[in-house]
Chain A
Amino acid sequence: MRIPLNRSVSWQRYLLDQNISSSDWWVWMASAVAWVFLFTHGGEEMPKEPVLCTSKEQANISLGLSNLTTASVRELAYYACMIVAMMFPLLSGQVKHVAFSVQRKVRNLAIGFFLAGYTFLWIAAASILSVLVVYLRSWVAISPDLPPSVVSALGFLIAAIIFWLPSRRGILTACERTVPIPMNSWQSLAESFGYGVSNGLICFRICWAPMLAMIMSVHSMTVMILITFGILLERYYFHDKSKIIGYVWAATAVVFITIAIF
């Protein structure tokens, strides 16, 4: 029912209705809080490089794997924080789908399970990407003394190439995928978690390249902000046929090359 504004409606009721109708608002809030945390703790405490790339001994695979097995909860927490900050704002449509598929009494829980599934997938994917970076450095004999900006440029060049592939549009469209979610009981939570995992996989297929560029740029805050801005514009502003973001990644690669040269 539509309630005309000239009727007496309590402000409490209005805010509740807005909270329900804009069920994704706290996802944006979580992202904002995560960004605040990253800004305030990203100076010294945040790992400048993934745990596997902490020193010149990174070319030693066994040492890298050893580091992986002893990777602290702290590093994983930072990964999760980065995912919340950078990726959650992309999930507005999916969160609304979960929110309105279930009964109101389990709505927030279902959204939480969805986001947990999504975050789980991304943490696993980010860990695998980090291992791949270590192997790449070893197999292609990338010198540990190679200027970081060259590595960053390579990462963004890969991101640009992947962006311009014809298959990108179909993968981007897959982000809109919905699934039927039971309205309550444990099944709704299980389906919500599964939906989060599958959405994370779809998201990984489109975003792995800029994420790789970020890892190869040793998680620079500036790069993080740039990538977040780029993927948000790609998701909500530019038409799926637009090539602008690809040009942004290519231009960023050029900038890093220029830094390396001069």
Chain B
Amino acid sequence: MYLAYFEQIVGKHIIDLGGPADWALPFWDYSDATNVDARKLPRAFSTPANGTNGLWLSGRSTAQIPANYVTLDALNTIPYLGDGIQSPLGFGGPRTVFSHSGGTHGRLESRPHDLVHVAIGGAMGDPRTAALDPIFWLHHANIDRLWQVWLNRAGGRRNPTWSGQTFNFHDKDGRVVTMAPKNVEDTTRILTGYTYQDVPTAVAVRESLEAIEQESIQEPFEVIAATNKKSKLTSEKMVVSLKLQPPSQKENSFKAVNEAVGNTSRKETYLHFENVTGKGVPPIYDVYVNMPNSKNKASYYAGSLGFFGVEEASIPSAHHAGSGQHFALDISNLIGELRNRPDWNPDKLDVHLEPSSPLKKDASVVIGKISLYSA
């Protein structure tokens, strides 16, 4: 919604200044594997790197965004809703109120959304200032595009029934307008309508959450390992050992392989980072599982944590309870691979957390609980 009205407002000014009448908000496709410069900040936003450039902003990182921060495995997710505990982690995460903070970050939000924000840094690193950076709008246009790409993949991908909440905006003439989520499901019907380059707009099938849930029974997740105390992250690497407890049911252990109901589908395993609180803009932390040394790190890579908005999430407000952030990494495939290795220990799992850059003095991160859920 806000992208559409931003485009409308900026477009009006561009036209008033003699610009093209068909100006549209561009998107930054940082995941384009065919473009060697895709993960670099677009040139117009970095050159010249001074105040004469209206698209330049100080404080940004000049480094190229690592490739594993912008992979699109989120598009493989089918359910829209899910928190990775009571149900598989969804494309959009669990059902929440409208807030920057609280609740589990969904797949798309975790990667690439959060990671791009923190990787660029500066104003982009904090949700309270992110929109001040012009690149914010191209980043979110891409996120909006990826939502359509996800819908187009069909195979059960569909939007949920929205709660009916409405939001107010100002249009290009300064008038207050109201929109609801259901109004923006079809991009061709938003304001004057739009589509993304090379992304056709399929008819969005909207089904109620109940209809989606009734298609199959979700075997409940159970926590099989967890820390008992908080973990404070530093500029150094940290290893947290999770001792796998004796399971309540034999189906929920690594030792019992897919024997619960005789099916051969993979067991889902999520690594959760709960009640993450902190200050400032912490760096991205890369997560590895059972990594013996620094060689061949990629084969032990579980994901990355971009604590985008952690300070805001830690402070209670009228919008959220201040319980911090919650991240879930799907390590089902990784566990499957590690289990076939000779050094696999079914009683313990080592979680390695490595900062991508030093933790600044005004930043801090404390993870309330690291837990492992399996179903």
Residues of A within 8 A of B (CB): 1-5, 7, 9, 13-14, 17, 20-21, 96, 100-105, 169-170, 173-185, 187, 239-240
Contact A1–B267 (Cβ < 8 Å): yes
Contact A101–B223 (Cβ < 8 Å): yes
B240 to chain A, nearest CB (A): 13
Contact B323–A169 (Cβ < 8 Å): no
Contact B248–A14 (Cβ < 8 Å): no
Task: List the A residue with the shortest CB-CB distance to B323.
Answer: A178
Give the residue of B222, B263, B319 whose beta carbon is less than 8 angstroms from that of A7.
B263
Contacts of A102 in B (CB 8 A): 223
When chains A and B are docked, how far (Å) is the Cα of A13 from the Cα of B215? 17
Contact B248–A105 (Cβ < 8 Å): yes
Known interface pairs A2-B217, A187-B228; A180-B320 also in contact (CB < 8 Å)? no
- As a 0/1 sequence over residues 63 to 97 of chain B, the CB contacts with chain A under 8 angstroms (1 = contact) are 00000000000000000000001101000000001
- As a 0/1 sequence over residues 221 to 238 of chain B, the CB contacts with chain A under 8 angstroms (1 = contact) are 111111010100000000
Contact A2–B371 (Cβ < 8 Å): no
CB under 8 Å from chain A, chain B span 223-266: 223-226, 228, 230, 245, 248-249, 252, 260-261, 263, 265-266
When chains A and B are docked, how far (Å) is the Cα of A14 from the Cα of B216? 11
Contact A96–B323 (Cβ < 8 Å): no
**Which of A2, A169, A175 has the most chain B CB within a 10 Å cutoff?**
A2
B289 to chain A, nearest CB (A): 18
> Can you spell out 24 A-B residue pairs with CB atoms less than 8 angstroms apart?
A1-B267, A2-B218, A3-B261, A5-B214, A5-B215, A7-B263, A9-B217, A17-B218, A17-B220, A100-B221, A104-B222, A170-B317, A173-B316, A173-B319, A175-B321, A176-B320, A176-B323, A180-B275, A182-B369, A183-B228, A184-B245, A185-B228, A240-B97, A240-B318
Q: Interface extent on B, as a size class?
A: 35 or more
Known interface pairs A176-B102, A183-B371; A170-B318 also in contact (CB < 8 Å)? yes
Contacts of A103 in B (CB 8 A): 222-224, 245, 248
Q: Does B328 contact A (CB under 8 A)?
A: no
Contacts of A5 in B (CB 8 A): 214-217
Contact B261–A2 (Cβ < 8 Å): no
Q: Does B296 contact A (CB under 8 A)?
A: no
Task: List the A residue with the shortest CB-CB distance to B222.
Answer: A104
Known interface pairs A1-B268, A177-B323; A96-B219 also in contact (CB < 8 Å)? no
**4 extra A-B contacts, CB within 8 A, seeds A2-B88, A174-B316:** A2-B265, A17-B217, A176-B97, A177-B322
Give the residue of A20, A169, A179, A187 whose beta carbon is less than 8 angstroms from that of B220.
A20
When chains A and B are docked, how far (Å) is the Cα of A184 from the Cα of B244? 12
Contacts of A175 in B (CB 8 A): 321
When chains A and B are docked, how far (Å) is the Cα of A120 from the Cα of B302? 43
